[in-house]
Amino acid sequence: MEKKPFYITTPIYYPSGNPHIGHCYTTVACDSIARYRRMQGYDVMFLTGTDEHGLKIEQKAAEKGVTPKEYVDEVVKTFKKLWSYMNISYDRYIRTTDDYHIETVQKIFKALYDKGYIYKGEYKGKYCTPCESFWTESQLDENGCCPECHREVTEAKEEAYFFKMSPFAERIEKLLTETDYLQPKTRATELVNNFIKPGLEDLCVSRTTFKWGIPVTFDDKHVVYVWIDALSNYISALGFWNEQYNDFDKFWPADVHMVAKDIMRFHAIIWPAMLMALDLPLPKHLAVHGWITFNGQKMSKSLGNVVDPFILGERYGADAIRYHILREMALGADSSFSNEIMINRINSDLANGLGNLVSRTVAMVDKYFGGTLPADREEGEFDAELIAEAKGLVAKVDEFMDKTQINNALAEIFKVVSRANKYIDETAPWVLGKDESKKARLATVLYNLLETIRIVSTLLSNFMPTTMPKVWEQIGAAESDITYENAGKFGVLPADVTVHRGEIIFPRIDVDKEIEE
């Protein structure tokens, strides 16, 4: 049977500085969903990339005395290094400086112009250079500064092309309020009241004041300004209006675009408008998450309050970082980053919860049975409840993953980890181990624990792909045991399974020592 396609995208990030933990969050979240869907049997296309044009990049490159392309080439290396370090399984990486993307953007711009949706006008407004954003007077903060970074803005005026938004207002309002395009839906009211009800403003889509952009083919004074260039990546990367790829028919419309709230408006209003203008189908879901904040402010390159994922990963391990950010962030809400919360979370869930469960179970199989379980069994109290919870887990995780609620999916998995640790206390294997006549009961308890670990670690491998194979090695699971179908079954490991004691998977971190440093 042909596999069902599944297309998921991250935003394409600005390489105006190195990636930080905020970029990591969206990418790790998409990676986990992509892995989960692959495990479920979908044919997945997972796209990420970089948004490489614009004034900010031009300025950064000039500061360094290199060309913009030389500058972005270096930063893109760091992005790719980080994604490899975080074990990100992207299928395609798009750079907006790639020729095929440029070709698509130029064709889209021309098509929108030919259809009468793009026209020439004059732009007047307040411009924030670090954010590359024009603001209206009413959008500025209480000091008349940029509402995002709170720096000074300058008066700017120039000839520019505009994209007509009003023809799409009604359809977009319906999309936001009557469909489940936007996740969480609670954000729809804010968008409708702030942007649609007051009348959708036309969008400035070209600039003449900087050169580092895609030239407008029919008016070469202009370069395409930010959003038409950036948003088109989601289709140029599939080969829409270029010869590089041929996947558009298979993967479009996208199943999930994931972004944070800073760029929600562009994805909730402008992107659908562009697609409507091009007569293309709309993406199925836009998942919008909050910000990772640091001391109450959005972590961002322009504010300079970034947390370096390489340093964190070096210290705590890439999977521990992945787990922490995925578990902390609830779709829709902000999440404040703190080393202390992270260390406590790693200790309680990973070191004490999962790590302990694995090492205690494997150590007991070793201690009482020399590493290989006997095949004799004796069922007992508490078994049925543990087995039911373990077998029922995949359905619960599915439900949350379908709603892009990764934190809740993880919470369900860790409930089963806690249940298994409680089962150890309830069944007291160390008491059974003292009594020769209880050997079959002891083997059953340990087998149930190994099976629960198999199920839990199979599901968790989508979120922590580096460490879970080490768990499989320790519990004696073969590669063929680790499948989505098997995650819903109990009794997959052979009755006489052999375990392999190994290193501690998640070492405990000394909170006091770490925080002092």
Which chain residues interact with ligand ME8 by CB under 6 A? 11-14, 22-23, 25-26, 51, 230-231, 233, 259-260, 262-263, 291-292, 298-300
Distance in Å, CB of 262 to ligand ME8, minimum: 5
Q: Which is nearer to ligand ME8, 186 or 418 (CB)?
A: 186
- Cα 346 to Cα 362, 471, 508: the distances in Å are 21, 17, 8
Distance in Å, CB of 480 to ligand ME8, minimum: 36
Cα gap 130→123, rounded to integer Å: 19
Dump the DSSP string for 112-147: HHHTTSEEEEEEEEEEETTTTEEE-GGGS-TTSS-T
Q: Which residue is nearest to ligand ME8 (CB)?
A: 22
Q: Which is nearer to ligand ME8, 90 or 423 (CB)?
A: 90
Distance in Å, CB of 25 to ligand ME8, minimum: 5
Cα gap 287→9, rounded to integer Å: 10
> Nearest-CA neighbor of 100 among 238, 223, 219?
238
Distance in Å, CB of 93 to ligand ME8, minimum: 14
Distance in Å, CB of 337 to ligand ME8, minimum: 8
Yes or no: say if 119 and 164 are a contact pair by the CB < 8 Å rule: yes
Yes or no: say if 72 and 15 are a contact pair by the CB < 8 Å rule: yes
Q: Which is nearer to ligand ME8, 12 or 358 (CB)?
A: 12
Give the annotated binding-site residues for Zn(2+): 128, 131, 146, 149
Dump the DSSP string for 447-493: HHHHHHHHHHHHHHTTT-TTTHHHHHHHHT--GGG-STGGGG-S--S
Dump the DSSP string for 168-183: GHHHHHHHHHHSS-EE
Distance in Å, CB of 304 to ligand ME8, minimum: 13
Q: Which is nearer to ligand ME8, 265 or 403 (CB)?
A: 265
Q: Which is nearer to ligand ME8, 183 or 233 (CB)?
A: 233
Task: Collect all residues with Cβ–Cβ distance below 8 Å to 493 and sequence separation of at least 6.
Answer: 447, 450, 451, 454, 475, 476, 477, 481
Give the annotated binding-site residues: 128, 131, 146, 149
DSSP conformation class of 66: S
Q: Which is nearer to ligand ME8, 150 or 438 (CB)?
A: 150
Distance in Å, CB of 467 to ligand ME8, minimum: 24
CB atoms within 10 A of CB 243: 8
Residue type, 414: F
Dump the DSSP string for 318-344: HHHHHHHHHHHPPTTS-EE--HHHHHH
Strand order from edge to edge, sheet including 118-128: 133-135, 118-128, 154-163, 203-204
Q: Which is nearer to ligand ME8, 14 or 161 (CB)?
A: 14
